[in-house]
Structure 1
Amino acid sequence: MTDTSGTRPAEGEVRTPRQSRLHRLMRYVPLLAPVLLWAVPCWVLLHAGQHWPLPVTLAGTALFALGLVGMPLAMVRGHGRRQQDRAAIVGDTLLGTSWVLFTWSVLLGVLLRLALAVADVGAGQDRARIVTWAVLGVTAVLLTWGYAEARRVPRVRRLDVGLPRLGAGLDGLRVVLVTDTHYGPLDRARWSARVCETVNSLEADLVCHTGDIADGTAERRRAQAAPLGTVRATHARVYVTGNHEYYSEAQGWVDLMDELGWQPLRNRHVLLERGGDTLVVAGVDDVTAESSGLAGHRAHLAGALTGADPALPVLLLAHQPAFVDRAAAAGVDLQLSGHTHGGQIWPFHHLVRLDQPALAGLSRHGARTLLYTSRGTGFWGPPFRVFAPSEITLLVLRSPQSATSP
């Protein structure tokens, strides 16, 4: 591998755009969301015509009130200045539980109640109680299954990716992508080791980590991240920062990954050579880097490609799929990203789509650029994955002679 640097200083100040009314209203979402997440299920399950005995109604309402108060308090203690892992686990679990409960309270509270009415099943109270038990049953099943999905070693997703400019000598190049490991309050050191064993079984030429290694500082999560040092690749292991690194001392994570034998591609590239052909492997800091205030941290694609032969194919690591517009404008052949988690807990993917151009999988952008978006290897916050399984991705690059373009 040939190492080429290209970080450049900032090119002047960027004027902050005037905030729209929508953005100003978004400030109140953190205050309104917890109320909706707990109040809506409380109403659907206890007060929408069920006529439960008074002790049941009072106890249930008190339980929902406790969740409404306890969840934000635990989140603040867990993810705020105190960084208390036990509080974070409680807050994250309550957040995931309330989201699933809210979702199915809304869906079944409307659709099932309507279906029962159309089918003329039971009276009003009977239908309301059927809805309550259905919501509780579906929520219990999904949370149990979602927890198992979140904690398991991800399945390997394999696909061939045809790159028209890839030389024949690089045909069959095996690229393994892990991303969004999110080591955090739940100790997943053993899980991390098993993930790395799976990666090694794939006999990769290149292993990539596209950021969001952990929630917490490198010093605090070192034990969980340490197995990354055992990952093997024929040519290189490369890494770029994600937005969560900038919540917890990003430079510390860059230094630790370097210590573990990974090459941080901070607005620079390396050259992968095989069979007489060359692939440019470039990386950029996350797009949130510049606003972090850390000197020298920002997403700078031109710097990453400085000195690279424009005739060579380019594989770019960028944490967020949204960076693909810049990648396509620069003629990048393939961008690898994470960040979305595939939505993680259905139907959160609808909100992700408002922010990102792709949710998961392979997509085309512009005349040349392909984007692969991973659903992520770990999970963020709530220890659940519902209809959004995690993955370790094996991409086999194909030259024009053997590739079938998507």
Structure 2
Amino acid sequence: MTDTSNTRPTDSEVQSPPQSRVHRLMRYIIPVVAAALLWAVPCWVLLYSGQHWPLPVTLAGTALLTLGLICMPLAMVRGHGRRQQDWAAIVGDTLLGTVWVLFTWSVLLGVFLRLALTVTGVGDGQDRARLVAWAVLGISSGLLAWGYAEARRVPRVRRLDVELPRLGAGLDGLRVALITDTHYGPLERARWSARVCETVNNLEADLVCHTGDIADGTAERRRAQAAPLGTVKATRARVYVTGNHEYYSEAQGWVDLMDELGWEPLRNRHLLLERGGDTLVVAGVDDVTAESSGLAGHRAHLAGALDGADPDLPVLLLAHQPKFVDRATEAGIDLQLSGHTHGGQIWPFHHLVRLDQPAISGLTRHGPRTLLYTSRGTGFWGPPFRIFAPSEIALLVLRSPQKPTSP
């Protein structure tokens, strides 16, 4: 394997222009308004849409939901703001996931189940309202319990063959393992991290890739959770690129730690992977948000990543966000590996993700040549739930249309 790279940029913080008072105020008002809407709908569907519960039940339910409304934004600010207190982040994130599920099923069942009960003539108004309320509570509780188990388990391996027309026969069968969005964070997951790395090692991959969002928090705070990444094995290389969350948590600290753990940074640079007389360009770019982070030398620079590479060689590109595929397609990239979307993480959030990204998960084609593989992610961000969006470790076996020569 040959290393071809540009001079590695260093992080240097620059002064950002001061934010206006209105802008700072809106940063707090918008989350509070959104939180109020998320809590108000379940409150109405569960307590005030015709159930006529005994007064103590109504008062207790209202108090509980109001407490959630008050605590969630306060905990989120305390947990993810300047103080970054892990216990507060856990409380705020859990409440966020819980109310999202309650809101979703309050809307769905509050409309469709109530309509079905009305059409079929089941009970009177009060009976139907209570059936909807119990259905919302039952389904939400079940999904949250299942979603928590899904988020905390070691991801299943998702295997698929990917044919690249320009891939030489000598590289046929190259095994590429992809992990991404590990999001080491407030919930201690060092043991989980070690088991993930053991799973990756069992794949006996030639190339292991991490496409960013390693953690939430600085490298110093999350070192114990990230340390098992140093045990990952690959016959050729272990490479990574930065995600947007690295730029929330002292990006240079993560670059330094990944270097210490033995991972090759593909920050707007590339490596040449050679086997059987054929060559694959393995390139990577910083996240698309890097330039706005205020760190000098950080940006998504595809031309720099490919500088010096033979344009006739196939290219495997690491880019954190799927939407970078527009630039990859223009450059004739053969395969882009991305994460970022989490597959939506908690259904039906994937519909909102789709507004920002061209793909949610899996293998998609873009333009005449470019393939994009989007991972649902290895860990989870924020709410410790995964509902109808399972985590994954991907194993992509690259295939050449040419038959390899028999030894």
How far apart, CA to CA, are the structure 2 residues paired with 1:122 and 1:386? 32
How far apart, CA to CA, are the structure 2 residues paired with 1:96 and 1:293? 31
**Deviation, structure 1 residue 36:** 1.0
Matched, 1:370 2:371: yes
Q: Which runs of 5+ in 1 are unaligned?
A: 10-24
How far apart, CA to CA, are the structure 1 residues paired with 2:277 and 2:111? 63
How far apart, CA to CA, are the structure 1 residues paired with 2:277 and 2:95? 55
How far apart, CA to CA, are the structure 2 residues paired with 1:29 and 1:185? 24
Q: Find the residue that maps to 1:363 and give its secondary structure.
A: strand
Letter paired with 1:381: G
Matched, 1:335 2:330: no
- What is the number of residues matched between the two proteins? 388
- Kept after mapping to 2: 8 A contact 1:376/1:391: yes
4+ residue segments displaced more than 4 Å: 25-29
How far apart, CA to CA, are the structure 2 residues paired with 1:257 and 1:371? 25
Q: Percent identity?
A: 86
How far apart, CA to CA, are the structure 2 residues paired with 1:104 and 1:402? 52
**Deviation, structure 1 residue 4:** 1.2
* Aligned equivalent of 1:126: 127
Letter paired with 1:313: P
- Kept after mapping to 1: 8 A contact 2:169/2:403: no
Q: Which moved more, 1:28-37 or 1:353-362?
A: 28-37
**Deviation, structure 1 residue 29:** 4.3
* Aligned equivalent of 1:159: 160
* Aligned equivalent of 2:228: 227
* Aligned equivalent of 1:209: 210
Q: Find the residue that maps to 1:70 and give its secondary structure.
A: helix
- Kept after mapping to 2: 8 A contact 1:7/1:266: no
Letter paired with 2:5: S
- Kept after mapping to 2: 8 A contact 1:211/1:241: yes
Q: Find the residue that maps to 1:354 and give its secondary structure.
A: coil
How far apart, CA to CA, are the structure 2 residues paired with 1:277 and 1:246? 36
- Kept after mapping to 2: 8 A contact 1:6/1:305: no
User: Residues 78 and 27 (structure 1 numbering): CA distance in 2 closer, same or farther, change over 3 Å?
Assistant: closer
**Deviation, structure 1 residue 181:** 0.2
Letter paired with 2:169: A
* Aligned equivalent of 2:309: 308
Q: CA RMSD in A?
A: 1.4
1:2-401, aligned counterparts within 5 Å? 2-6=2-6, 29-401=30-402
- Kept after mapping to 2: 8 A contact 1:7/1:267: no
* Aligned equivalent of 1:16: none
How far apart, CA to CA, are the structure 2 residues paired with 1:134 and 1:67? 21
Q: Find the residue that maps to 1:216 and give its secondary structure.
A: coil
How far apart, CA to CA, are the structure 2 residues paired with 1:287 and 1:326? 11
How far apart, CA to CA, are the structure 2 residues paired with 1:114 and 1:102? 18
TM-score computed with the length of structure 1 as normaliser: 0.94
Q: Which runs of 5+ in 2 are unaligned?
A: 10-25
